[in-house]
Each structure stands twice: as C-alpha cells, then as structure tokens.
Structure 1
Amino acid sequence: MTSDHETLWRRCAYLGHVLLPLLDQEPWRKDRRQERLHSWGIDVAVGERLIEVFAALAAHAVALDTSLSAPEFETLPLSAVADAATGKQDFELLAGLPDTFADDRDEIAVKVFRLHAYRGGQISLQLVRLGTEVRHTLTVLAARESVPSPTCGDIFRTADESNLPQ
C-alpha cells in the first residue's frame, strides 16, 4: 500500500515531468533553454532531467513546509514553488524525501542533484542556474493560465488537456 508521503512525492514528480513539455508548446523556448544549458557547460539531457527533479524537489519542500497532504497538493500555488526553486538551500530541498522511489529515474536524478549540491564550487553554480530555469518555467506557465493565482492543479489540468502522459 502506498503511503500519503509516497503519493505526495509522485504528484511532485509528475509536476516536474510535465513542466518542460508544456513550456515547449512554444518551440523557440526549447531552443533557447538548450542554448543556455550548452553555454553553461551542462549536457542538455542531464540539464533537462535536473530541471524536472529540481521542480519536484521545490514543490515537495513547500508541500512539506505547509503540511499539505497528497490530495491537497493541487492547491499549492505555482508562485510558492517558484520561490522555493530560487529561495531554498539545496539541503532544504533534499529534506524529507521518501526512503524509496517508485520510479528509478527519479531516484537517480535525486542522487545526481545531491551529488551536485555537495560538490560545491562550479558544480553548485549549475544548480543555481537550473533553479532560475525552474523559476522561469513556472513563471511562464503561470502567466499562460487564465486564473489569477495558478496552482499545481491548474498545471495538471493543462497537462491533461494537452494529452501528456501521467
């Protein structure tokens, strides 16, 4: 049986998975992001995967801070996740993660994030840059929504309407 904490992580991970495909509905955004990643010396595939997990970690940290349950996660404002992406320290994003992950890709991405965070120097500068990418992505997607203060649930509905896989 899946615990509420594991379900909460899955919702956070799903948020991370759908952000870039939703952003890339304007193809030029993908090109610009990939150019930035390349100019920073970050492999595009690795960078995009880290952006996904960074968003999931930021959402998870805010959900834990505000004591949201998995069913309440959809009420989490995108602005709070964006603020966490650039406002929380790496160790704050890593706190309270589940012991196991249902998706091996999530577990590997979290481990890579953790390694980047603890190495310091130029590598941790890359995490700062990726955090700004997450914030930018969330800000753009929030601006596209027709509601005044979009939530994670609004992004999930947009992902469903765009037929993105769950």
Structure 2
Amino acid sequence: MTSDPDTLWRRCAHLGRVLLPLADQDPGRQADRHENLRTWGIDTAVGERLIEIFAALATHAVAIDASVPAAQLDALPLRTVADAATGKRDFELLVGLPDRFADVRDEQAVHLFRLSAYEGGQASRRLFQLSREVRHALIVLVERPLFPCPTCGDVFRRATEADLPE
C-alpha cells in the first residue's frame, strides 16, 4: 500500500510533467523558453527537466505547508503554487520530500536541484532563473480564461483532455 506522502509526491510530480506541454499550447511559449535557457547557458533538456521538478517541488511545498493530503491536492490554487515558485527559498522547497522516489528520474532531478541549491553562486542563480520560468508557465495557465481561479485539479483535467501521459 502506498503511503499518503508518496501519493502526494507522485501527484505533484505529475503536475510538473504536464506543466510545460500545457503552457506550450500558447504560440511561441516553447521557443521563448528555449531561447532563455540558451541565453543562461542551460542545456534545454536539463533546463526543462529542472523546470518540471521545480514545479513539483513548489506544489509539494505548498501542500506540505497547508497540510493538504494527496486526495485534496486538486483544490490547491495554481496561483499559490506560482507564488511559492519564486517566493520560497530553494532549500524550503526541499522540506518534507519522500526518503525514496519511485521514479529514478525524479530522484536524480531532486538531487540535481538540491546540489544546485546548496552549491550557491552560478548554480543558485540558475535556479532563480528557472524559478521565473516555472512561475511564468503557471501564470500562463492561471490567466487562461477557462477557469476563474484555476487549481491543480484543473491542470490535471486539462492534461487528461490533452491526452498527456500520466
């Protein structure tokens, strides 16, 4: 049986994985992000994976702070997650993570994030730049006129409608 913290993390990671494909439905969004990553000297694939995990970490941190169980994650407002992406310090996003990750890619990305957060200097600056990209992608979804106050549940529904993988 899966514990609630594991389920919570898996749902947060899923939100991170579907964020960019959903945000990229806006014309030019992907090209702008790729240009930003190149300008910052960040490999596109690595940068996008870090953006995914950053979104998952921000979602997870908000859920932990608000004591939101996995079953109620759908009600979490996207704007709150967007605010956490730039409002929380890097190491604050690492609080309460599972000891082990079912997905080795998540574990590797969290380790890279953690290493960058504690390394400081240029690595920390890259995380700051990526936090802005995460926030921007979330705000793109928040500002779409489909829902008055979009939640994580709305993102999950949009991902299902767009036939994005789980």
**TM tier, smaller:** over 0.9
Single out whichever of 27-36 and 68-77 deviates more from structure 2: 27-36
Q: CA deviation at 1:148?
A: 1.3
Which residue does the alignment assign to 2:56? 56
Question: With structure 1 as the length reference, what TM-score do the two structures score?
Answer: 0.98
Count of equivalent residues:
166
Aligned AA (1:64): I
User: Is the partner of 1:71 in helix, strand or coil?
Assistant: helix
Query: RMSD across aligned C-alpha pairs, in angstroms?
Result: 0.8
Single out whichever of 144-153 and 115-124 deviates more from structure 2: 144-153
User: Structure 2 matches for 1:26-65, cutoff 5 A?
Assistant: 26-65=26-65
CA contact (8 A) 1:145 1:154 kept: no
User: Structure 2 matches for 1:1-80, cutoff 5 A?
Assistant: 1-80=1-80
Aligned AA (1:163): D
Q: CA deviation at 1:27?
A: 4.6
Matched, 1:135 2:135: yes
Which residue does the alignment assign to 2:84? 84
Q: CA deviation at 1:54?
A: 0.2
Distance in 1 separating the partners of 2:97 and 2:83: 19
Superimposed CA distance per residue, residues 53-94 of structure 1 (whole angstroms, 9 cap, x where no aligned partner): 000000000000000000000100001100100000111100
Which residue does the alignment assign to 1:152? 152
Distance in 2 separating the partners of 1:156 and 1:131: 21
Which residue does the alignment assign to 2:97? 97
Unaligned runs of at least 5 residues, structure 1: none
Distance in 2 separating the partners of 1:145 and 1:54: 25
Superimposed CA distance per residue, residues 68-127 of structure 1 (whole angstroms, 9 cap, x where no aligned partner): 000000100001100100000111100110011010000000000001001101110000
Superimposed CA distance per residue, residues 19-59 of structure 1 (whole angstroms, 9 cap, x where no aligned partner): 00111123511111000000001110000000000000000
Distance in 2 separating the partners of 1:150 and 1:13: 18
Identity, % of aligned positions? 65
Distance in 1 separating the partners of 2:23 and 2:137: 7
Which residue does the alignment assign to 2:162? 162
Distance in 2 separating the partners of 1:138 and 1:119: 26
Single out whichever of 136-145 and 67-76 deviates more from structure 2: 136-145
Superimposed CA distance per residue, residues 2-35 of structure 1 (whole angstroms, 9 cap, x where no aligned partner): 1000000000000000000111123511111000
